[in-house]
């Protein structure tokens, strides 16, 4: 078996693509979009912060998924129903915060009749997708 040394630039590209694939898997859901607006390394070794704006059309949902780090989110517009495994659904409106610990299975849907929008910040492990769907 041949092995090949990978340079730092290639490694960074692979990590970035992995994060993008995780975001694209969630974006593939009808009526839900997530636009990444920032990705920065942190002073915490092995961690980076990713900031995204997610929009839910009326009736749209993002399925069950996890993150390899904390999700810190703020509801900008509309109503979001957050479903966390083992807890009753939580209805949140514009101005409400959301915190999801690492590895916790959760889902979200638009609980209102108009569009909903959140500003999501992920403090996650480098080299892993920002989000991973759960079956």
Kindly report, residue by residue over 86-124, the tens digit of the pLDDT: 999 999 999 999 999 999 999 999 999 999 999 999 999
**Alpha carbons 76 and 44: distance in angstroms, whole number:** 28
- All domains in the chain, ordered by first residue: 8-133 (2.60.120.10)
User: Which structure tokens are listed for 72?
Assistant: 């810190």
The structure's pTM equals 0.78
Instruction: Assess contact for 64 and 107: CB atoms under 8 A.
Output: yes
Q: How far is CA 31 from CA 20, 61, 83, in A?
A: 19, 7, 18
**Each residue of 87-109: b (16+ CB within 10 Å) or e?**
eeeeebeeeeebebeeebebbbb
């Amino acid at each position: 078996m041949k092995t090949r040394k990978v340079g730092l630039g290639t490694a960074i590209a692979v990590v970035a693509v992995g994060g993008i694939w995780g975001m694209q898997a969630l974006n593939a859901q009808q009526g839900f979009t997530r636009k990444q607006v920032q990705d920065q390394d942190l002073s915490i070794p092995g961690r980076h912060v990713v900031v995204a704006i997610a929009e839910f059309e009326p009736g749209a949902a993002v399925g069950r998924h996890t993150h390899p780090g904390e999700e810190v989110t703020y509801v900008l517009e509309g109503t979001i129903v957050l479903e966390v495994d083992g807890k009753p659904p939580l209805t949140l409106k514009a101005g409400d915060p959301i915190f999801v610990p690492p590895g916790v299975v959760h889902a979200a849907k638009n609980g209102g009749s108009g569009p909903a929008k959140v500003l999501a910040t992920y403090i996650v492990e480098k080299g892993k997708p920002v989000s991973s769907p759960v079956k």
